[in-house]
Structure 1
């Protein structure tokens, strides 16, 4: 009997070392099989191709999803299934044909299940939808299906030349293709194609916000969650895409400004060389992002299906999708940016604008007057330096994240009837992974990206979860999955010990402050909000030159 028990225990141990097959799924593409999670609680289907990307579709919308014969093994054994991108020590990693999705399905629940589709962040330059950062375990306890996926990054995903060969937003068109794939196929996994929530963080949040206002995504999702990014942030749109492409060409050794010349250079370039060009551009009068590759406003080109053809602010000023939304940010987003600042990097800003080129001034003097007002508000008229780095952090938090989220909320409330739930994530615990790697590790509040580690079971944090962290993680995932199920993050009889009230056109913006003890409250800094609202109402740029004609004006 003792030997028999040992044999059973040994068998169970060996079974955990061997992938156990999950139920077979039949798609139009063919049959596929996944594997059962180590603890047996959910099924995982890893690396399913949802579209194709290769040299023939470079800089354009992806090709159709491939088909196969036999049974496709969606078990994550397809090699380096991340989209090509810079890795550590400037080593290029990933592959060009990288458009793959991961589907995670709870094992013991009734069907059909609500579906949550997540878009990863990474400055439109890095990242993937893989389990290393976005482990599904916390969501699998909440009876939802989770889908993550890759999309093209950097020059391959966001070169925008305004011509048919490179119309722009290929990475966003990958995301749209993924959503169409989910809508078409998720029922085969036990999901409800009429109950899909799209959510994303940072660049993934900006992507989500842009997809939300795109006519081309109508009917593909029913709710959205936008975390630390918006469509109207000054870093959301590349307003000089052809000029920025010319900077990439110059780094490759070419002097070109014509869109067709640039396309020829990029299409013939070694893909590793193209991806290796680091972000960065000359310091200008405006305070624009240094990132070279961002979403753009597309020209209308026959035969091409654009994502957006106007500035997001203009689109939001009209009727857009009327669906429930969660939108928010973290209380100390700017820590992520200011931890790398030095006196040398901050000094040039003292003689230039403290606003980006999403504003327009009649004269340079007018722009400097506005910047002086901002300087007095945040820095008591002192120069930006490491001596007032906490003020710089607050300035970055407001400029890049907090204020745009408020402004986008107001635009949505003015046009729509559906609720918008606003939040600020403030908790500081053992899973604030990003903040712990900044110079502000002992400060209160949450840094950019900290919220992810209370939602996903990242392999970056393999150690035991404390009780406080677990309670915050439970609160986070309960609210996010309640929203996916019911359109309300805190419905009656939920396990969340607070009622999250939506913002209102008549009653104003209301915020849930997510913390160890969460609470409802007003906007965090009314004076800062009023300052920026006045500036943007007077100076916001309401038009942008289209890529194919802007090279005559924007390089000056």
Structure 2
């Protein structure tokens, strides 16, 4: 996997300290069903999520053998550089950011050029991604550099309008400057280094030093390294919105029923160390939401909080937490997805919107967590059918959901 620090989201998304990481990480996996006939199959190119910071195609959750077999598809999962190694922007040609997006485009081009050698149809490529992967798909929809590399697009829980995961040039410059300071690459003696000299200094560092320095960003109020509208892949002129033309004419967007539960679960357990949701009082929940909203919007948050919390009569417990979660989910995912759908439709694309509302029986979320962010990965790629997940208690009902979702993806990839 590409360099990243250990992380545990839940039982099915774990990067352990023992997982091998290396800068030699730009690989892809091709899943192709066995057929006696030579008819080319549609191709799904899948971009994994992980906040542009973690994740990798070697994780069992991204095993797409079921999607390929049941969907009669060629599925290609691709790796790309993450964090500072993938998105550091120094404002110069030698480090202009978006390296991870260029990795994805290179993989797309390779798939297009070599499709027939593994049974694929180069004229029927669907670009699919989840979360940061879906944001990446939205960038490829925009960029002229990706024109002609795919025909359809499927975005799961991601759009170009999600705040916090696309940087402005000034934000990117601030993060690059902080990283250089932390690694002693800003100055030599009393002399301030040029951008080219800073890049040369950073390249001399071990990638673990870069990862550990990046981890301290949370304490500095910064989140990490993300795509930025500043180069020929994403020009500053594109930042204003969706262009009249997009690189796909048939687009499917989906969100999960309760996207915000994913993030509230993290805030409660990892930030506030709360194990029992019954201990969460309404005043505390509204305070948490105010802090989260301040990072996501400059609008007056009082009417928003009133709209979601006023119907809740309980003073504590799951209903209070759900109200807070719904605000975050709507603001971060559902509303941006609908905005994206409308703008794509206005650009004369055929747009379909789907809501995923099934809770996996075998995922170790807290009891109050509803179908949430990333739950659909297991079903859409079919990894829920793997023995490792069967052993965790996957049921026949889970498999039926998986089959239905794979059928929908297959139908879209075959004929739109």
Report the TM-score when normalising by structure 2. 0.82
Match of 2:24 in 1: 97
1:378 shift after superposition: 3.0
Return 348-357 or 222-231, whichever deviates more.
348-357
Task: Tell me: CA distance 1:410–1:371, structure 2 relative to 1, closer, same or farther (3 Å).
Answer: same
After TM superposition, the structure 1 = structure 2 runs for residues 305-454 of structure 1, keeping only pairs within 5 Å, are: 306-310=232-236, 314-342=240-268, 354-356=293-295, 367=298, 370-380=300-310, 388-416=320-348, 418-431=349-362, 433=363, 436-437=364-365, 439=366, 441-443=367-369, 445-454=370-379
Aligned-pair Cα RMSD in Å:
2.9
Name the CA distance, whole Å, in 1 between partners of 2:119 and 2:308: 52
Q: Contact 2:286 / 2:324 at 8 angstroms: preserved in 1?
A: no
Q: Structure 1 residues 255 and 450 mapped into 2: Cα distance closer, same or farther (>3 Å)?
A: same
Say which SS state the counterpart of residue 280 (structure 1) adopts.
helix
Distance of aligned partners of 1:310 and 1:356 in 2 relative to their CA distance in 1, 3 Å threshold: farther
User: Offset at 1:255?
Assistant: 5.2
Offset from partner CA, 1:427-462 (integer Å, 9 cap, x none): 12325x2xx33x3x355x411111011123255514
The alpha-carbon distance between structure 1 residues 127 and 311, as it changes in their structure 2 partners (threshold 3 A), is: farther
Mapping for residues 136-535 of structure 1, pairs under 5 Å: 136-139=64-67, 140-239=69-168, 240-253=171-184, 259-260=195-196, 262-276=198-212, 277-278=214-215, 280-281=217-218, 290-299=222-231, 306-310=232-236, 314-342=240-268, 354-356=293-295, 367=298, 370-380=300-310, 388-416=320-348, 418-431=349-362, 433=363, 436-437=364-365, 439=366, 441-443=367-369, 445-455=370-380, 456-457=382-383, 460-463=388-391, 465-487=394-416
Per-residue deviation, 1:373: 2.6
Long gaps (5+) in structure 1: 1-81, 285-289, 300-305, 360-366, 488-556
1:206-238, Cα deviation, whole Å (9 max, x unpaired): 111111111101110000000011111113311
Q: Is the 8 A contact 1:138 1:457 kept in 2?
A: yes
| CA deviation after TM superposition for structure 1 residue 311, in Å | 6.5
Mapped to 2, the partners of 1:103 and 1:351 lie a distance apart of 44
* 2:61 alignment partner, one of 99, 124, 133: 133
Query: CA–CA distance in 2 between the matches of 1:273 and 1:403?
Result: 38
The answer (yes or no) to whether the contact 2:183–2:202 under 8 Å persists in 1 is no
Query: CA 1:451–1:298 in 2, change beyond 3 Å: closer, same or farther?
Result: same
Equivalent positions of 1:67-86 (< 5 A) are 82-86=1-5
Distance of aligned partners of 1:335 and 1:351 in 2 relative to their CA distance in 1, 3 Å threshold = closer
Distance in 1 separating the partners of 2:90 and 2:390: 43
Over 3 Å counting, the alpha-carbon distance change for 1:214 and 1:177 in structure 2 is same
Match of 2:47 in 1: 119
Tell me, yes or no, if the aligned pair for 1:232 and 1:312 is still in contact at 8 Å: no
Q: Which has the higher contact order (CA 8 A, sep 6+)?
A: 2
135 and 342 in structure 1: CA distance in 2 versus 1, 3 angstrom threshold:
closer
Question: What's the CA shift for 1:122?
Answer: 1.1
8 Å contact from structure 1 (residues 85, 92) kept in 2: no
Q: Aligned-pair distance for 1:103?
A: 0.9
Contact conserved, 1:238 with 1:294, CA < 8 A, in 2?
yes
SS at 2:155 equivalent: strand
Unaligned runs of 5+ in 2: 7-14, 273-284
SS at match of 2:244: coil
Give per-residue Cα distances to partners, 1:175-212, cap 9 Å, x unaligned: 00000000001111111111101101111111111111
Deviations 1:231-267 (A, max 9, x none): 1111331120010122223333555696445423322
Distance 2:395 2:268 in 1: 35
- Inter-CA distance 480–208: structure 2 relative to 1 (3 Å threshold): same
Q: 1:222 to 1:400 in 2, by over 3 A?
A: same
Counterpart secondary structure, 1:423: strand
Number of equivalent positions: 377
The TM-score with structure 1 as length reference comes to: 0.62
CA distance in 1, matches of 2:173, 2:234: 17
Alpha-carbon separation, structure 2, partners of 1:89 and 1:137:
23
